Structure 1
Amino acid sequence: MKDHDLILSDLAREAEMNPGTMSSIINGNRTLSVDQLDRITQAMGYPVGYYYERYVSEYLTEANPNWRRMSPFIHNCARLNKLDCIHDVVNLLMDKLGYSESLFELAEELFREGLYEAATILYENVALSEKKQYSERLAICQYRLFQTRQGDNQEKNYEAAVQFEIYVDRLDEIEQLDALKDLANTYRSLRKWDKVELFAKALGDKAKIQYNMEQQRHPSKKENAKQPSFPLFAYWAFSHLLRTQVCGERKDYEHAFHHIKKYADLSWVLDTDEETLKWKNKYEDWAVVNTYVNKLLSGEESVLPEYVAYISSRKDEVLPALDNIFEAANRYQFDVDDILGQFKEDISSYLEQQEIEGFYTQRFITERFIHFSKELSVYFLTKGRFSDGFKFLLSCLEKSTLINNKSYIIKCMRLYESFQEYASLETKKAYRKLINEVEVDEM
């Protein structure tokens, strides 16, 4: 006020506050809410949040915790990414009994808004404070932490999955379906097929129970029941789709066809709403595609023309199809140069990120591209097309390094060593640079 030659009423007007309220705050006769702090801060010409650290240390630590003040402050800190302030406030609250439930509800709100880093701080503290180790709230905290910890680092994704999986059965029955789906997808991206099979079977069993219960439930009770993210039959079908892939990876094509037949015929699903029809059509398509895939990977080259024709108009299926085609080509020495030419532009476009819908995840698509790059590299190198082969090998190695996928890093290194005598000087430099990055990450 002195610096800007303002009287109290001037400052109150700038802050859009009542002069009496402003007077009480300045004289220390009134508690200062975060909204009032924001207004005064802006009136002083500073950005919102400028005084938050001092608000915590000079005001909140000396006052009795009051949720009506703390809650909006934490929310504001989350939006401004002032995570240290959230840590400090949560520590103040956790010293007092009775705030665990309120923090959990706020964490859920932040999670829904996509403020994951802030929500993670709250979930971690609520989980630590939970006395009932079998409580559903603790299980939800662990599920949310698993979700927020999924990222580009495959090793950390694995650690998060292992930490969470013991809590799945403590979630409510509907939440378990999404949790099992998410766990299976994470292990799928990590190519840990025993784990995929374990959680896929659990998903199928629980989805079948929930579907049967839903069919027997009175219509008046269906409206009040908790709704899953997808139709219940879709979870059941997805479990068999996952097990199809597991069997394919084990080269057990007989059992793979058994699982394909399960989701190929969904005529027993009688609902006719738009969402149901969408997912029925998806699984019918996937059944046709996976029939081609399993025949191809078992060595039936004759299905190639039909398979290529089928996926040509289905853009989302082109990358997985090309991956399967080149894996089969490398395994059985098929010549697929004509297919390579047909999809040349599509292959180039896969260097860009893909948008994922539904049951697929970005991690799965990233892993698929890495696998595809490796198969394409093998195909080119064994045909003596070294420039193209090393280009995709380096792409595979770079992507594997970014997500810390050690399995593929090792595969790339072995492949490079087998053909290094044909590498150009430029390729050798690029390879050495990537390997140095791997070595730095390991330090």
Structure 2
Amino acid sequence: MSHTTTILAELMKYMTEHDLNISDLARKAKMNPGTVSSLVNGNRKFSVYQLDRITEAMGHPVGYYYERYIPECLADASPNWRRMSPFLENCAKLNKLDCIQQVVNMLLDKLGYADPLFQLAEQLFQEKLYEAAAILYENVALSENKQHSERLAICQYRLFQSRQGDDQERSYEAAVQFETYVNRLDEIDQLDALRDLVNTYRSLRKWKKVNKFAKILGDLAEIQYKLGLQQQNAQKENTKKPFYPLFAYWSFSHLVRAEVFDANKDYKTALQHIQKYADLSWVEERDETTLKWKNQFKEWASANTYVNKLMSGDVSVLPDYVAYFSSNKEEILPGLDNIIEAANRYNLNVDVVLQQFENEILSLLEVQRNVGVYNQHFMQERFTHFSKELAVYYLHKGMFSDGFRFLLSCLEKSTVINNKSYILECVRLFESFRENASSETTAAYQKLISEVDAHEE
């Protein structure tokens, strides 16, 4: 919608229609009469704070005039950052992304604005206003002449983080784009960035990439840990520290590399990686955080040893493995997923286990939350994989009602997260058992397929 009148003209019209003088308007807007007089007489431009007060006094929602505010108050030959900065912050909070883009476009050819834009982007990112921050990061990255600068790398890291969401294809594209920038970050920032990159590829089961970046992460963490020991006496209080203890990054590297080899059915090599993080006696620190993570990795090593043996066909560990995760809520979904995958692989009957966790499985059908140490993408993918494996298990046992219920659940979730490989698996599975599907199941399936087609368009 185009506007032919200015903000000031509309204000004057409002004052006339409501028979308000400057003092009346100032009182209604809770502003200084002198300030209002200067604005009404055109002697000064509105600040965004003043505009918001006047807008509310006129009975409009905050942001109502923002599109007009840009050409009328911000489009100067010499942009005023003190005026632009609070406006951009407000636009971010109101999700007026087009306004943010317009203001940033005005600054692209102006020298000296990359740094304040970057600082504002960091502020918005911390406030979880990711879409607004992404616009700023994108434009700061475009204006960065030094292609190997750390600021450019940070912009790309933030863009990668802000693009992680339900759409797995978009998450993958963002990860691929960020790959080439990760080694340009500060070494400490690299640790967390590599961990994030590994977790994204892990949630997508891109095992080659998981292995590649997990190895880089482990090598970097080992180097940083040794450097830390050598410089321990010279460390300053303001030295940048990673989010987790350094040994935890190294341990995490071997944990996920064990997953990679398990996925590739190289159980011997996987077990070697598990044994590496099972024994952390070499870690010298004795603080509470260190002890917590040492115990956590020891516990994970024990659990993943069960998984390693189970996946290699050693069914004898099943009772101990079930006992482990039955008392650990956040491990129930991964545990059940591992068991049902092994059951399908080795034709095992695990009905007793499924009955034991029937309530938990039904609750998982309703909602999947970001639980404990597992990130949202990992849990979403894990539940989708679990639904698919359950569908396979029940359908091959002739339990068609349960089988199709989990098949449809998998198809629905796969559509939401845009996972094409799972969608294809669901289609193949349904077609294999189509003759056993009820008319209601077939109708539900066709509806989901229509949603898949619409998503593709």
Q: Paired residue for 1:9?
A: 23
Residue 345 of structure 1 pairs with residue 332 of structure 2: no
- The reply to whether residue 414 of structure 1 matches residue 432 of structure 2 is no
Give the corresponding residue for 1:210: 224
By how many angstroms is 1:112 displaced? 0.2
Contact 1:12 1:18 in 2 (8 A): yes
Counterparts of 1:281 and 1:31 in 2: how far apart (Å)?
Answer: 61
Checking the alignment, whether the CA contact within 8 Å between 2:394 and 2:400 is kept in structure 1 is yes
What is the identity, as a one-letter code, of the residue corresponding to 2:336?
L
Three-state SS of the structure 1 residue aligned to 2:17 is coil
Specify the code of the residue in structure 2 equivalent to 1:287.
A
- What pairs up with 1:89-238 in 2 under 5 angstroms? 89-219=103-233, 221-238=235-252
Deviates more, 1:225-234 or 1:115-124: 225-234
Q: Aligned equivalents of 1:308 and 1:218: distance in 2?
A: 43
Which residue pairs with 1:426 in the alignment?
Answer: 440
| Structure 1 match to 2:401 | 387
2:45–2:73 Cα contact (<8 Å) kept: no
Which one-letter code corresponds to 2:318 in the other structure?
Answer: L
Matching of residue 68 in structure 1 with residue 82 in structure 2: yes
1:270 aligns with 2:284: yes
Using structure 1 for the length normalisation, give the TM-score.
0.97
Could you tell me how far apart the structure 2 residues matched to 1:300 and 1:432 are? 40
Most deviating of 307-316 and 211-220: 211-220
Q: Report the alpha carbon displacement of residue 289 of structure 1 after superposing the two structures with TM.
A: 0.4
Give the Cα–Cα distance (whole angstroms) in 2 for the partners of residues 299 and 188 of structure 1: 23
CA positional deviation for 1:92: 1.0
The whole-number CA distance in structure 1 between the counterparts of 2:63 and 2:42 is 21
Alpha-carbon separation, structure 1, partners of 2:102 and 2:233? 49
Residues of 2 paired with 1:221 and 1:3: CA distance? Answer: 69
How far is 1:230 from its partner?
Answer: 1.2
Displaced runs of 4+ in structure 1, greater than 4 A? Answer: none
Deviations 1:401-440 (A, max 9, x none): 1111111111111111222221111111111211222222
| Worse-matched range after superposition: 386-395 or 19-28 | 19-28
| Equivalent in 354, 371, 374 of residue 356 of structure 1 | 371
Q: Is the 8 A contact 2:38 2:44 kept in 1?
A: yes
1:34 aligns with 2:48: yes
| Aligned Cα root-mean-square deviation (Å) | 1.4
> Identity of aligned pairs, percent?
68
AA in 1 matched with 2:341: E
Corresponding residue for residue 322 of structure 1: 336
* Inter-partner Cα distance in structure 2 for 1:142 and 1:15: 42
Q: Is the 8 A contact 2:52 2:63 kept in 1?
A: yes
Letter in 1 for 2:269: H
3-state SS of 2:145 partner: coil
The residue type equivalent to 2:371 in the other structure is I
Show the counterpart of 2:453. 439
Describe the SS at the equivalent of 1:350: helix
Q: How does 1:71-90 map to 2 (within 5 A)?
A: 71-90=85-104
Query: What letter is aligned with 2:372?
Result: E
CA distance in 2, matches of 1:44, 1:240: 62
> Residue 2 of structure 1 aligns to a residue in which SS?
helix
8 Å Cα contact 2:395/2:433 also seen in 1: yes
Map 1:249-328 to 2 at 5 A: 249-328=263-342
**2:87 & 2:233 partners in 1: Cα distance?**
43
| More deviation, 402-411/271-280 | 271-280
1:26 Cα shift? 1.9
Stretch moving more, 38-47 or 213-222: 213-222
1:59 aligns with 2:70: no
The answer (yes or no) to whether the contact 1:189–1:364 under 8 Å persists in 2 is: yes
Structure 1, 253-262 or 416-425: larger mean CA deviation = 416-425
Of residues 221-230 and 333-342 in structure 1, the stretch that sits farther from structure 2 once superposed is 221-230
Deviation of 1:23 after TM superposition, in Å, equals: 1.7
Structure 1 residue 236, shift from structure 2 partner: 0.7
Q: Which moved more, 1:317-326 or 1:45-54?
A: 45-54
Paired residues, what number? 442
Shift of 1:63: 5.7
Unpaired segments ≥5 residues, structure 2: 1-14
For 1:336 and 1:389, the matched residues in 2 are separated by: 15
TM-score of the superposed pair, with normalisation by structure 2: 0.94
Q: Is residue 239 of structure 1 aligned with residue 218 of structure 2?
A: no
Please say if residues 214 and 222 of structure 1, whose CA atoms lie closer than 8 Å, have aligned partners that are also in contact. Answer: no
Unaligned runs of 5+ in 1: none
Question: Cα distance, 1:255 vs. partner?
Answer: 0.6
